[in-house]
Structures are given as C-alpha cells and as structure tokens.
A and B are shown apart, each in its own frame.
Chain A
C-alpha cells in the first residue's frame, strides 16, 4: 500500500486515538500516549503489525493515543492508512 495523501482517523476521546498519516520518503512512526509508560511497547507493536500487514513501507504516521485497546488501535490505523492511499 502506498501513502499518497494526508489522512486521519479516530477521535481524541478517552479510550480512543487519533492517527495522522502523510506521504514521506521513508517510514516514520511517532507515538504519543497517555499510557505510554505502561503500554508504549504494546501500542508500538500493534501499529507496526498493522503497517506491515498492509505492506506500507513509506509514510509519516503519527499516533496520539488516549488509552485505546488493541482492537481500536488496529481499526484506526488501518482506516487512516486506507484513506491516505485511496485515489
């Protein structure tokens, strides 16, 4: 999947997250979270997993997490990437 334009998905509500995606020459992922100290490692692993599964190799992905569970992270990241790649 190729990131062709800016896109976003999610909300800033508690237990949700916002995902911002934009084109870039290489893959860069930035994660900010209210529970980074406790769950930063798991959030990061989940984002990496979705990015790899969709075959995204370049793009700037910024995650602003408010304590979302894994299924929400997966859904929001997937949606943002699909929106960014659609023509």
Chain B
C-alpha cells in the first residue's frame, strides 16, 4: 500500500496492473508513444454490411478474453450493449472486458452475464446496480472508473486496448460512413466514440438506419470502419434526457444558483470572449439562466459553451451569445436537432474535450464551469462516485477534467441532503482533488479555495456570503449532527482513476 497525495491508501497492484498513485493534477506524464493498431488494406468497394449483430460478432473475430466497447450517447435509451452481450453469450464467448464510454442504469440487464462469466471486467465506470453489487462484494468483477478525458487518454495511450468497438451509428451507409445527427435513433454528437474508432483493432458500425451512400456529413469515416451491422433498433433517444436535466424550482437551489452567478460575475471573466460549461443538474441550468441574462444586459459576446450540450445552450448560441458550442454529448433532443443544422455547434471527440495527454484539450480554454457534487470536504475534494451507503453508483463524467481545466471551477450543492452534510471532514471517495476546485457554494454560503485569493477579496467587497470552508462544515454539522463514517472492508473492489491515469482513490467493499 502507498499513500497518494490526497491521503488515500492505494494498493501497489490491482487486477494484475501496477498502479501509479496520484501525486498532483498536472505533474504526471509517462514517456510513451500513442497506441497503434494493425494496418488494414481494403481494395474492394463492396458493401461492408455483414448482417445482424451475431454475424458482426463472428466477422469481427471476437474471442473469449477480449475487450469490447460501445458508446453511451443514447444514455438510458441504449439497447446496443445489452443486445450485444446477449449475442456474445449465445455464441459461447466468455471472459469479456467492457470498455464502454459509460454504463447506465438500463444496463443492469448485464448482471446475469457478469454472474455467468460472460463479462469479467469493466475498464470504465458504471451508473446504478452493477456498481452497487460490486460494492457489496456480490459481483466479482474488477472495475476501473475513468473520467471522459481519462478514458480517451487510456485508449490513446494503449493502456486500454479495445479489440472490437461496436459503435451505434444512427445514420450510416453500407461502406461505414456515419453520423449521429439523423434517423430514428439520432443522438447527436458521437464524441465519445471517436477514440474507439481511431484505436480499436476492429470497428463495427451498428445501425438501424442504413442510408444510400454517402452518409453525409461524416462524423466517423469509412476509413476507420471494418464492418457494418444492421439491427431493428439502437434504442430510444427520448431516454437521453434524464430527470435531472430540468431547471430547478426549489428555492434553495435557486439561492445557490444566485450565489453562483455572483461568483461568476466577480471572477472578471464575464466579458467578451467568455467561455462556460455547466452540467445538466437543475441548479446548473438555473445558473446558466442568470449568465444568459447578464450576457444579454451587458451585450457580451461569449467565446464558447462546452461539454454535454442542452437546449439551453442551443438557445444561447442561436441568440448570438456564444460564437460556438463544443459538444461531446447531446443532453436533450433540442441539442440533437441543433447539431445537425448549426455549423457552429461543433462535435468534439473525448480527446479534444478532455484528454490531458495531447497538445491541449478544450477544457483548458474554459473560464468558468459549474459542477455538481455528491459530497465535498474541508480540503475542497469532491466525490461524485459513491453515495451515502458507500456504494459505487455514479460514473465520473467530465468532473475532474473540467475542474482541472477551467480557470474557476464552481461546485454547487445543497448544504444538506436527507440529513447528510454536503461539506464533511473527508469525502468518502475522492473523484476530483481539492487543488483543482475553486469555489464550493451551498445555500449557507460560499467557500473560496486558497489559490483564488483575489476572487475571495472581490466577493467580500461585493458583500457576498463568503465563509471559511471549516466554518461552513461546522454550521452544517450543528444542524445534522456529526455523521459516523460508512464502514468498509480492506478488500479493494474498484479503482478511481484520475484523468492522467494515476490512481486517486479506491472503492472498497462495504461492510455489511
């Protein structure tokens, strides 16, 4: 065991791999070349359509022990991963590692296949039941949770080698050009699928909407696609929108949003050229509303909006408040519609978005970003992975990437959720290290991290309710009482990887 720089005990080896403990957000760069894959040659102009999913699995040469990937742009509406694993099982293939861009609640259907040994590892984070069962020790299946930038990096460096990528292709031609803009399963950008298309040894485009050649505009080109498979449906795009993507009406949330807009205004970045990212949470959207109003009033022309894109950002683009949008994930159908017709609504790959190991990713250009939290602590660390029972229930998303990149990263969360204090002595799991977090805002006040002394002064000058983070914690504890820590066994059931591939925390089996 080693202790990393956020004070977490990290094993030396996990699942056969040697671990590098986290040592700071911007210090680690291994001396490696990017990944390679076999050279292909195809002199035929003939159709690459091989039939259905099962035919494609056979054609791809998938064998026991290999690693597959899918993308999660259809989010909770995705059918492909579940259908794929069923077919893999039917072909008698076992010991498969899943390296999807994310796994959602809908993929709880995979649990029996994990128990059966069809799936024996996850090189990606998960949302929902699978993580809970792994935390309880009921599923023996190693898991490495990665951020969006971290996943893209792990593929580009070859740390994760995908044998076959099965990429949902909502608008696809017979020679393998595709995009996600149109068709019955349109999901908009295909940003998370681009590293897979670039580095997987074999790439299968799976479509429910085969269109005459060529499928334009091209998001992923024929030169990266080995086979095309056809299925009845890729899923239901109506389920892209989660229940959390609605503007809050809760007075507490609105108060937090008001404070967040005060902070953004006080940073001094809210002027021509402003760049901004929010999540999809109700508070985030309320902050976006305030930002929009301030931009309108002061006739500010922003540079770009970034991240998962919602209809709210589309409206801001179309109103001329931003020069453009960079989109790695369309969060609602309005965003899906926009990316197909707005030239300044730009698809971006996960590497361009947030991979730290290239010549500069998009998050580096962000001024302010609003991020949520499951819990925070007095060292400004943020947990979004494990919930109150200690179970691994959420994937990291772009959280730690955006926090590291943005000039001011702003965490918004209520001070108390169902008696649980949201500012604690120590978070259960460190997803995002405090040294990359600028400000934590609750309805009880604003805590500014020490690396932003000027912002703190400016907020005090503006009579904003600035509080020391310890004071904030004490105030919350005086209402909730001091919580006991959830108890864990020594057994490590998963890793929380930082975006650069070092390990920032572990997930341990929850004591029954």
Contacts and interface: CB of A to CB of B under 8 A. Distances in A.
Interface stretch (A2-10, A51-59, A67-75, A76-84): A67-75
B390 interface: yes
A15 interface: yes
Interface size for chain A: under 10, 10 to 19, 20 to 34, or 35 or more residues?
10 to 19
B484 interface: yes
Contacts of A37: 388-390, 484, 486-487
Interface residues of B, number: 16
B420 interface: yes
Contact of A39 (B389, B390, B483, B487): B483
A14 B479 CA distance: 16
B418 A38 contact: no
Interface in A41-65: 41-42
Contacts of A67: 417-420
Contacts of A66: 418
A31 interface: no
A35 interface: yes
B473 to A, nearest CB: 15
Contacts of A41: 484
B487 A15 contact: no
B481 A42 contact: yes
Q: Tell me whether chain B's interface is mostly helix, strand or loop, or mixed.
A: loop
B480 interface: yes
A34 interface: yes
Contacts of A38: 388, 419-420, 483-486
A42 B481 CA distance: 8
Interface string B377-391: 000000000001110
A15 B419 contact: yes
A66 B484 CA distance: 17
B481 A34 contact: no
A35 B481 contact: no
A66 B388 CA distance: 12
B418 A70 contact: no
Nearest to A39: B419
A68 B419 CA distance: 6
A84 B389 CA distance: 33
Contacts of A35: 388, 418-420, 483
A69 B416 CA distance: 10
Contacts of A15: 418-419
Interface in B128-142: none
A38 B482 CA distance: 8
Nearest to A36: B389
Nearest to A68: B419
A22 to B, nearest CB: 26
A34 to B, nearest CB: 6
Interface string B414-433: 00111110000000000000
B216 to A, nearest CB: 48
7 contacts: A14-B418, A35-B420, A37-B484, A38-B485, A39-B481, A66-B418, A67-B420
Interface of A: 14-15, 34-35, 37-42, 66-70
